[in-house]
Amino acid sequence: MKKYLYFAAFALSLLSCGQEKKCTVQGKVSVPDSSQPYYAVLTDAGVALDSCSIENGSFTLTTGQCPQKSLNIKIHDAAGKWIGDGSLFDQVMEIVPDARRMSVNIDDASSEGSPLTAVLNAFLLTLNGYFEGDAAFQEKAAAIGDDPEKMSGLLAWNKQRILSLTKETYLSHTDDAVGLLALRLFSGMGVNPEELRNLLAQGAGFIQENDEILMALLYMENEGKETGSAEWVRISREGAILSQETCDVATLYDSIVGQGQYVLFDFWASWCGPCREEIPRVIRLAEKYAGKGLKVVGVTVKDKPENSLKTIREMGIGYDQIFDTEGIFCNKFPLRGIPHFFLLDPSGEIILEGHHNLAQFDEKISHVL
């Protein structure tokens, strides 16, 4: 099974496409136990669009045709657990619904009948190889040995390969979903904001208006800044919005951190599918330790407040939120993609961090409280 190990900061954004023409996706997949029921789910930014049972390794899903949108196919068992080796991004295949009919094989990420899906997965497979360290990287690493200076140079070379691949892919697809995904990946790699603006200007309207890329530009401009503002949203355990006010980031941070309680921060965004998948688990943690010395706070990343509020209401989130529209609050943490969780002790020190596996956080919290 191929896995695309890139952070959820690069998760799928919501786009608008007409639904007049249908796209039927016929798929194949190997499941761990053919005697047990399994299901295929087609999602857009973590929101299910269609699902069906898998019969004899086959499934059929339907959605609207839209070459500007990339969707996600995942497989889960009867208990709702995604199958695979347990990693967050396992058993995932990206598709672009650009044809009336298409076929996919999730085991090897192959497809027929959809030109853009074929291009997208070829791009992601190459990119995945760069991220994991392909043969070219391993050969160079073996020649370097333990020299830290040369290893730093090798990592810089590998990052440049990734940037070149994403940039070239975008410039070849400035008007479709492949280009959008490539530019979103490019925007999350610490690139020069002026270069990103120039690339963005070459894209179709739906790419130029993409919230994630526009927010990434704003975050770049504010990188390293310690002063600014954020929205502090107080929410009841039942999910009602109690108050929403603009606060100074430094003052807000000091009012939450180092105040004699443990704090779990969840950095997320409405457009991030993996973030949305983790939210129910965060809700359960907040409910489990309510009144026992743990404060749970969500921090929205590269997200518009109206989209964050919509997700809060849809998912029944019952813990306070920080809408970090300027990216200043994020500067206080070693954030590396989303979802990203940080557990702070009563003095304000980070004692645990991670991108998923909230069971580990539950175990740590139960031990310290």
Instruction: Tell me the two tokens of residue 136.
Output: 């070219």
Specify the pLDDT at position 332: 92
Specify the pLDDT at position 91: 56
Q: What is the mean pLDDT of residues 212-223?
A: 85
Query: Which among 306, 311, 305 is positioned nearest to 272, based on CA atoms?
Result: 311
Q: What is the mean pLDDT of residues 252-279?
A: 92
Between the alpha carbon of residue 92 and those of residues 8, 73, 86, 142, 165, the distances in Å are 13, 6, 12, 31, 21
Residue % of the chain over a pLDDT of 90: 66
Specify the pLDDT at position 336: 78
Instruction: Tell me the two tokens of residue 4.
Output: 């695309």
* Run of H or E including 186: helix 177-187
Specify the pLDDT at position 242: 93
Residue 12 scores a pLDDT above 50 = no
For every residue of 113-158, DSSP letters joined together read S-HHHHHHHHHHHHHHHHHH--HHHHHHHHHHTT-HHHHHHHHHHH
Other Cβ atoms within 10 Å of 73 Cβ, number: 21
* Three-class SS state of 314: helix
* Run of H or E including 28: strand 22-28
CA distance linking residue 182 with residue 308, whole number of Å: 24
Letter string b/e over residues 157-172, b meaning 16 or more CB atoms within 10 A of that residue's CB: ebeebbbebbbebbee
Specify the pLDDT at position 84: 58
Instruction: Tell me the two tokens of residue 297.
Output: 């706070």
Contact 85, 356 (CB under 8 A): no
Residue 225 scores a pLDDT above 70 = yes
Between the alpha carbon of residue 136 and those of residues 108, 149, 155, 176, 309, the distances in Å are 22, 19, 12, 30, 45
CA 114, chain centre distance (Å): 24
pLDDT band of 272, cuts 50, 70, 90: confident
| pLDDT tens column, 58-108 | 999 999 999 999 999 989 888 877 765 444 335 579 999 999 999 999 988
CA distance linking residue 98 with residue 116, whole number of Å: 7
Q: What is the mean pLDDT of residues 145-158?
A: 91
Specify the pLDDT at position 88: 36
Which domains are assigned to the chain?
A: 8-115 (2.60.40.10), 133-221 (no CATH), 229-368 (3.40.30.10)
Q: What is the mean pLDDT of residues 223-237?
A: 90
- Full-model pTM: 0.73
Residue with tokens 């770049």: 220
Length of the chain, in residues: 369
Sign of CA dihedral 101, 106, 111, 115: positive
Q: Which amino acid is at 61?
A: L
pLDDT band of 1, cuts 50, 70, 90: very low
Specify the pLDDT at position 31: 86
CA distance linking residue 31 with residue 268, whole number of Å: 30
Starting at the earlier edge strand, list the strands of the sheet with 110-112.
58-64, 22-28, 101-105, 110-112
DSSP 8-state code for residue 57: T
| pLDDT tens column, 306-344 | 999 999 999 999 999 999 988 899 999 988 788 999 999
* Residues whose CB falls within 8 Å of the CB of residue 156, separated by 6 or more in sequence, listed in order: none
